[in-house]
Amino acid sequence: MNKILAIGCIMLGMIAQAQINRFFYDYQFIPDSNNKEDVKKEMMLLDIDKNGSTYYSRDKFVSDSTSMAELQKQIKGGSGNININRRENAGQVSYKVTKSYPDFKTYLFTKVSMDQYKVKEDQKPEWKILSDKQKVGEYNAQKAITNFGGREWVAWFSTDIPFQDGPYKFYGLPGLIVKLEDVTGSHVMTLVGNKKIEAVATQSEMELPGNVRIMGMGGKELEVTKDQYKKAWKAYVNDPTKNMREMMMRNGGEGNARVSFKVKTADGKEITDPNQVFRDIEKRTKESLAKNNNPIEPDLVK
């Protein structure tokens, strides 16, 4: 009987260690500094366990998980044709941020064109804690300020929640950051709820066939410094279709049947000519960049 009780205690301990503290943040942001009336919203998740934290978009996570399941099904089917449709609610925030405990080593996971990057953060937020206090939701909070990533930030942290963590790359205060806002009001993250969930096994990385490459799916991230990422970003801005053209050439040139591109114009017309496809992609990319000129971390895309 004692042995059974001992085993039971061990199992309970394992379950307790496998729990995740999930915090829900309402993220409101203004992508275009020239159109401040257009405020976007995204539900962001901050998952905290004994090893660290992960901050990411709920909608993107759900969309990616569903698309990956569909892709696996098509590859196993062996038909030779792979079709992944863009989902209506695929998420507006594509990056995620991880921090490892106890050193708070921080990484930004993001992509440029068809390449995925793991960008190592080399700075930590330097806080000035002020005496101002207020309620944020149900929590007693205190004010702190910092300069980070090219913006001035105001944080409200609560010692009611004993985690020295927060949304995006922010951490290091004597309690969880329950509200974070830059001084221009362009980016605001507010804690709106939390719960404990059971940790699930991480899905192993899926191997794609050698002739299949899908933007943002499969493959490993390239770990880089911030300076290396800035260089890659500038190259992309100057020539948005460079990676696609290089991929086509590596696979045998424009006449190779394994590589094909097609896009649809705003009026539904399908374009298949590679040169025209590239021109259309470049046009759309530059229009998108012009309307997304107010990033959360301006220093990273200078």
Tell me the torsion sign for CA atoms 136, 139, 140, 141.
Answer: negative
pLDDT digits (tens, 9 = 90+) for 274-297: 677 778 778 888 898 999 999 999
The yes-or-no verdict on residue 249 having pLDDT over 90 is no
Average the pLDDT over 7-28 and give the result. 68
Average the pLDDT over 10-20 and give the result. 54
293 to 13, 27, 29, 35, 150: CA distances (angstroms) = 48, 17, 12, 10, 13
pLDDT digits (tens, 9 = 90+) for 163-197: 999 999 999 999 999 999 999 999 999 999 999 99
The yes-or-no verdict on residue 3 having pLDDT over 50 is no
Q: Rounded CA gap, 43 and 193, in Å?
A: 11
pLDDT of the residue at 246: 72
Average the pLDDT over 46-62 and give the result. 95
Domain segments of the chain as ranges:
18-301
Q: Rounded CA gap, 98 and 102, in Å?
A: 13
| Residue 150 zone, left/alpha/beta (φ > 0; ψ -120 to 50; rest) | left
Lowest mean pLDDT among 126-130, 143-147, 227-231, 245-249: 245-249
pLDDT digits (tens, 9 = 90+) for 111-166: 998 889 999 999 999 999 999 999 999 999 999 999 999 999 999 999 999 999 99
| Residue 123 zone, left/alpha/beta (φ > 0; ψ -120 to 50; rest) | beta
Per-residue DSSP letters for 164-219? Answer: S--STT---SSSEEEEEEETTSSEEEEEEEEEEEE--PPPPPPPPPTT--BTTBSS
The yes-or-no verdict on residue 8 having pLDDT over 50 is no
